[in-house]
Amino acid sequence: MVNWMTLSPELFYGLVMTAVFMVLCLVPANPRRDHATALILAAVGLAVTVGATGMRGDLFVDTYRVDLFSQVFKVMLSLGLLLVVLLCSELAGVDEKRHALVYLLLSLCTLAMMMLVSAVNLVTIYVALELSSYCLYVLVFLRKGQARSAQTAIRYFLVGASASAVMLFGLALIYGAARTTSVVALSAALPQLISRPDVLTGLLMVLGGFFFKLALFPFHFWAPDVYEGAANQVAAYIATASKVATVAVLIRIVAMAGDGSLLLVRALAALAIVSMTVGNLTAIVQKDFKRMLAYSTIAHGGYILLGILSMSPEGFSAAVFYAFTVLVLKFSCFFVLAKVATDGANLSIDGLAGLHRRSPLLAMVLMMALFALAGIPPTIGFTGKLFIFTAAMAKGHLVLVLIAMFNVVVSLYYYLLAIKAAYLTEPAKNLPAIRLSVGERLLAGALVAVTVCAGIFPAPLLDLAEAAVRTVI
């Protein structure tokens, strides 16, 4: 007998939210009504998810597990959805008739990612992953000016499809070796098999499917195009919620390997190094703000992988903490982006010029977020990096940490370019001040407060992350 209460977040997003927006898709469009509905539903969804953090249970013939780990991630996911919906008050990048469709796909994608973090069977994981990916392909396509967005979406789809193919092949290899697809059974079986090259290959290929989501080398090619080609709000969703879900499932998969094997660690280390280096070096020469953020995401994926490949509880909880960090910081950047580019167009870095006059509050949000991404204390970005690097050092990855630290310095260089544009460059023509509603002011203040306070007092969050991680290893 399934206890449906344990599934309340999934049920809410899957039944209530999608049903409401399916109806709204059919009736004549009204952007304000759609946005208000989405806002209320996303807020209720967050409340439901928070309320369900205490739920535990194994469901559907043990393919689906509700535990603290999955619930923590579900809270982050619904928080991510709520934040992105908050940005949608000016959804100028998408045709008005399709706003309801955007909300529908966003809730469906959130549902898929909730299933992803709870799934404990490789096949379930695969299905959930595909569902979330397909929502995103369509979302990218929905931007105004379809010739361009269609191109982007097709390229996104092509890379995604090859990643899925690689992942399926990996699943087959693992199933061939261990004769099971259950993550629980695999955690018992894999540590004995881990020295076999075919198992290692299978594991790496399964991880490949998630590297695609996390935009890690060599599956990173889509990120700059998609960030640039998608509507700003959709890009924000891809940069925040979608990354969080991926970290969860990466931890689940890597934790199956027990202490891991040296070969696997080395392979992951190589990918992490190339990711951060390619990401940071390429970001330096970008002119478009979203492209720069995309490359910075690739680099941050490398840092997260550094925590995961430590294969220790400290490393995993550092990665969870860092996922939250990325959620907050990247959202701050996209918040500023969406408020500056109200016409829904892309924003060049020079387009930030004079921001400190147009809106001191937004300029401060941007500065804090970028300083935090560059790891300047006492922000959350510094604390997150401290945890990851400490965990990696404890496992003796000295060279790896060294390379990562140099990457952090390189990244400071291009973050300063954006800060300089916002604070020091004078715009070519006088631009009007940016008006923020009371709610947006509060949101901006909250983002800065979280960036600083969670940096200084990380203990509650870290404790939660540690408790969550303990349930999967």
Partner 1 sequence: MTAATPDTVTTAAVLLATGLPFAAFALIMAALRGRPRLCAGLSIAAITVSLSAALLLLVRHWHMTAPIGAAAQWLVSGRITVSIGFLLDPTSLLMLTIVTAISFLVQVYSLGYMAGDPGFARYYGCMSLFAWAMTSLVVSPTMLQLYVFWELVGVASYLLIGFWYEKFSASEAGKKAFVMTRTGDVAFFLGLLLVLVHFGNLDILKMNAGDVPLHMPPAMITLSALLIFGGIVGKSAQFPLLTWLPDAMEGPTPVSALLHSATMVAAGVYLFARLFPFFRLSPTAMTVFLAIGTISMLLASTMAMVTRDIKQVWAYSTISQLGFMIMGLAAGGYVAGVFHLTTHAGFKALLFLCAGVFIHTFGTNDMFAIGRAGGRALKIPMICMTIGAAALAGLPPLSGFFSKETIMGRLAGLSNPLWLGAGLLGAFLTAYYTFRLIFAVAVPAPEKSGDEAPVGAPHGGHGGDPHHDRHYRLMAAPLVVLAGVTLALGWAHGALGRFLTAVDPGLDAHPAAHLAWLPYVAIGLALAGVLLAWVEFGRTASARIGFVERVEPVARLFARRWYIDDFYRWFLDRVVYARLSAFCDQGDRRVIDGGLDAVARGTVGGSRRLSVLHLSMVQYKMMVIFAVMGLLTLYFFLG
Where does this chain bind partner 1 (CB under 8 A)?
Answer: 147-148, 151, 155, 158-159, 162-163, 166, 197, 200-201, 204-205, 208, 217-219, 221, 224-225, 228, 263, 266-267, 270-271, 278, 281-282, 284-286, 314, 371, 376-378, 382, 386, 389-390, 393-394, 398, 401-402, 405-406, 408-409, 412-413, 416, 420, 423-424, 426, 458-459, 462, 466
**Left, alpha or beta for 260 (phi > 0: left; psi -120 to 50: alpha)?**
left
CB nearer partner 1, residue 3 or residue 162? 162
**Cα-based angle 396, 271, 129 (whole degrees, multiple of 5):** 115
Q: Cα torsion for 254, 265, 374, 467, to the nearest 10°?
A: 30
Question: Position of tokens 């990643």?
Answer: 163
CB nearer partner 1, residue 36 or residue 270? 270
Residues 6+ positions from 322 with CB-CB distance below 8 Å = 247, 300, 303, 304, 307, 384, 385, 387, 388
Minimum CB–partner distance for residue 63 and partner 1 (Å):
27
Residues 6+ positions from 197 with CB-CB distance below 8 Å = none
Per the CB < 8 A criterion, the answer to whether 371 and 455 are in contact is: no
CB nearer partner 1, residue 5 or residue 284? 284
Minimum CB–partner distance for residue 221 and partner 1 (Å):
4
Minimum CB–partner distance for residue 412 and partner 1 (Å):
6
CB nearer partner 1, residue 247 or residue 268? 268
CB nearer partner 1, residue 324 or residue 371? 371
CB nearer partner 1, residue 3 or residue 151? 151
Alpha carbon distance 278, 225 (integer Å): 16
Q: Bridge-partner residues for 94, per DSSP?
A: 143
Q: Bridge-partner residues for 66, per DSSP?
A: 57
Minimum CB–partner distance for residue 118 and partner 1 (Å):
27
CB nearer partner 1, residue 303 or residue 389? 389
Minimum CB–partner distance for residue 77 and partner 1 (Å):
26
**Cα dihedral 419, 425, 431, 435 sign:** positive
Q: Kindly list the distances between the CA atom of residue 264 and the CA atoms of 55, 240, 395, 400, in Å, as whole numbers in the listed order.
A: 34, 27, 14, 15
